[in-house]
Amino acid sequence: MKALVFHSFGGPEVLALQEIPDPPLAAGSVKVRMRAIGLNYADIYRRRGNYHLVGQPPFILGYEGAGVVEEVAPDVAGIQVGDRIGFADAPHANAEIVAVPADRAIKLPEGIGFEAAASVLLQGLTAHYLVNDSYAVKPGDRVLVHAAAGGVGQLLIQLCKAKGAKVVGLTSSSAKREMALAAGADEVLLYNTDWVSRVLEWTSKIGSGAEAGADVAYDSVGSTLMDSFRSVRTKGHVVFFGMAGGDPAPVDPRMLMDTSKTLTGGDLWNHVTTAEERRKRGQELFTAMLEGQLRLQPPKTFPLADGAEAHRYLESRASTGKILLIP
């Protein structure tokens, strides 16, 4: 099979398409002929050497994708050859054939294509646990979403709106503001403004007499964490799930006590620990897509052989939708 590999850490130029042996079919796994592979910023960190990688070169990136089952281990039940499946956390996905642990395979229903599945699973599962587990969004809630034009941000907007919430987003440019509005946000503010004051003003107007401030802020930026606290009401909630803008300042527990505000950390892999969890959440995402509650931007696609170019494009920060590699 062909795979996108690298032998040393570095820039996109270390990536190359190479012929390597097919992966072995281990107990409890299935072999999948890949049709679409999701590219994520974690792949860049791994390529640079920021994340620890197990084994010896050649290394293969990728954890997310979709394809068709070609072989099934004898001890696997419930999956058969020809099934269309997606996954969000199976390693070595940047290849024509991937060995996927059966408990991480999520069957694709009719109407969900390979590119759609590879575009939604990792970011969609993240948005799903954030609005259901980290803070259970309710009708009428006033929700602040950071990086609202990003992949998770757009999905958060749509899932919150489907629950009856009012959403104010934050973005870095006018173009991204339009994208977040198109995703369904009620208002979108720019980071280069006094956005804390404007969030308080906006939430006061729509709060029907409620205290100014969001009920919950979803912060994936990190360096904005203290401003997120200033943007939520007394007894409000801040969900911290990323550090795209750098590490946050330490949080003073006395501030939490004095304001009765809560801080919740978020990591997807603490919420999808079983096959049942993955499949239940995955199927809820697919249902929302089929019913029109979740709409995805068309992905930007690159041939697997052009993986280096895809990495350059993602690193340029020019992308707004999902980037896929196509074997």
Alpha helices by DSSP H, listed for 134-243, are: 151-162, 174-182, 195-206, 225-231
90 and 154, same domain (yes or no): no
The token pair that represents 176 in the structure block: 């991204």
Contact 18, 64 (CB under 8 A): no
Could you say which of 265, 299, 316 is where a domain stops?
265
Mean residue pLDDT across the chain: 95
Does 129 map to a domain?
Answer: no
Does 156 map to a domain?
Answer: yes
Q: CATH number of the domain that 17 lies in?
A: 3.90.180.10
CA angle 6, 32, 89 (to 5 degrees): 65
253 and 293, same domain (yes or no): no
Helix (H, G, I), strand (E, B) or coil at 42: helix
Q: How distant, in Å, are the alpha carbons of 38, 118, 279 from that of 326?
A: 9, 10, 24
Name the β-bridge partners of 67.
34, 85
User: In which band, very low, low, confident or very high, does the pLDDT at 288 lie, cut at 50, 70 and 90?
Assistant: very high
For residue 268, count other CB atoms closer than 10 A to its CB: 18
Does 131 map to a domain?
Answer: no
244 and 152, same domain (yes or no): yes
Does 126 map to a domain?
Answer: no
Does 20 map to a domain?
Answer: yes
* Burial (0-12, 13-18, 19+ Cβ within 10 Å), 155: buried
147 and 258, same domain (yes or no): yes
226 and 314, same domain (yes or no): no
Task: Label residue 260 left, alpha or beta by phi (over 0 means left) and psi (-120 to 50 means alpha).
Answer: left
pLDDT of residue 5 exceeding 90, the answer is yes
217 and 180, same domain (yes or no): yes
260 and 147, same domain (yes or no): yes
User: In which band, very low, low, confident or very high, does the pLDDT at 217 lie, cut at 50, 70 and 90?
Assistant: very high
Residue 246 lies in domain: 138-265
Q: Decide the pairing of beta strands 59-60 and 2-6.
A: antiparallel
Does 130 map to a domain?
Answer: no
198 and 114, same domain (yes or no): no
The tens digit of pLDDT for each residue in 223-278 reads 999 999 999 999 999 999 998 888 899 999 999 999 999 999 999 999 999 999 99
250 and 198, same domain (yes or no): yes
Could you say which of 224, 244, 265 is where a domain stops?
265
52 and 67, same domain (yes or no): yes
The secondary structure of residue 30, as a DSSP letter, is E
Query: Considering the entire predicted model, what is its pTM?
Result: 0.93
Rounded Cα distance, 214 and 166, in Å: 10
Does 14 map to a domain?
Answer: yes
Helix axis angle for 151-162 and 114-129, nearest 10°, is: 70
Question: What is the per-residue pLDDT for 54?
Answer: 80
Rounded Cα distance, 155 and 106, in Å: 19
182 and 204, same domain (yes or no): yes
The tens digit of pLDDT for each residue in 14-72 reads 999 999 999 999 999 999 999 999 999 889 989 999 887 888 899 999 999 999 999 99
Could you say which of 224, 242, 265 is where a domain stops?
265
87 and 142, same domain (yes or no): no
The tens digit of pLDDT for each residue in 56-105 reads 899 999 999 999 999 999 999 999 999 999 999 999 999 999 999 999 99
Q: CATH number of the domain that 162 lies in?
A: 3.40.50.720
Rounded Cα distance, 145 and 63, in Å: 26
Domain count, the chain: 2
